Amino acid sequence: NKKISCIPIFIYFFKTNLRGNKYQEIECGNVYAAIIPWLASFFLKKIYYSVYTYGTELTGLAKPSVRNFVIKKILCKADKIYALGDYTAGLLKTAGIKKRPVIFPPRIKLPKHTGNNPDMSILHLLCVGRLVPHKGHSVLIEAVSMLPDNIFWKCVIVGNGPQLYVLNSMSAEKNINDRVIIKTNVSDDDLWKEYEKASIFILPSIFDKGTEGFGIVLLEAMAHSVPVIAGNTGGIAEVLDNGSCGVLVEPGNATAISEAIKKLYGDINLRSALSQKAYNRVRNFYAW
């Protein structure tokens, strides 16, 4: 029980405060983790906390509700707020949070082998993400079902979640379940191998009770020099430098994704250019 597990933390704050220890500085990985230090700050002196923000938890924050009221109070009292990027910072501003956030984008370790030379006799399409509506997997399945017969393709979706049955049923209905493969339990090493095999990486995100605050899987694909197609929602455009190192499409538009796949498949120079720009962007801005 998460509520019970927070009690020892609360007790710890009281003990250290009573002992007269120096002020407590707490970094909270998300706004929900900041609930305890926020509450403790009303009763104890010398408690300061910072909060990391992402995206989905901030959508609709301007609407009146108990949840939103509490989250805004937590954020307003925070000593520091960290945001993944400009999009997340914009959500904070829209919600009325006046404190200027520190932009703190995620970083990844570059793979040892970054040259992406997949076997294009079979078009290996890759999508990585939790199987929830705002990830847009159903749009991807619709898009690949539109591809012409002269393109021999295989689509691997790596992820698990509540939409697993729906997506499997959808690919079966379209008679493409032999080419749409959903892998629900993949190790980090095996995921890296999927990136290495991929011809094109697709992140078909849409806005549906959630948002893609950043999309770290984009960084992973870009680090492997895989050309990217992504829905233009949330912070995705920021990661792809407004489309200079990836193809941005209208969110939820299966036809646009299908056309983008065909365009990249038929243009080796475009694939190469986007791959190189994508890798350079990760190396320059998002790598350790």
CB-based contact 36:9 (threshold 8 Å): yes
pLDDT in tens, 137-176: 999 999 999 999 999 999 999 999 999 999 999 999 999 9
Q: Which helix (H) or strand (E) holds 43?
A: none
pLDDT in tens, 55-114: 889 988 888 999 999 999 999 999 999 999 999 999 999 999 999 999 999 999 998 865
pLDDT at 180: 98
Q: Rounded CA gap, 101 and 104, in Å?
A: 9
Show the tokens assigned to 76.
Answer: 């307003």
pLDDT at 131: 96
Which pairs with CB-CB distance under 8 Å and at least 24 residues apart come from 276-281?
276/225, 277/241, 277/244, 277/245, 278/221, 278/222, 278/225, 278/226, 278/227, 278/228, 278/240, 278/245, 278/246, 279/114, 279/222, 279/223, 279/225, 280/245, 281/222, 281/240, 281/241, 281/245
Tell me the pTM: 0.87
Report in angstroms the alpha-carbon separations of 260 from 104, 214, 229, 235, 255: 31, 21, 7, 20, 9
CB-based contact 249:143 (threshold 8 Å): no
Can you point out the beta strands (E) in the chain?
A: 24-28, 47-53, 80-83, 102-103, 123-128, 153-158, 180-183, 200-203, 228-231, 247-249
Show the tokens assigned to 21.
Answer: 């220890």
Of the candidate ranges 11-25, 142-156, 160-174, 237-251, the one whose mean pLDDT is the lowest: 11-25
Ordered domains of the chain (ranges, CATH)? 2-103 (3.40.50.2000), 123-286 (3.40.50.2000)
Q: Rounded CA gap, 170 and 79, in Å?
A: 47
pLDDT in tens, 255-268: 999 999 999 999 99
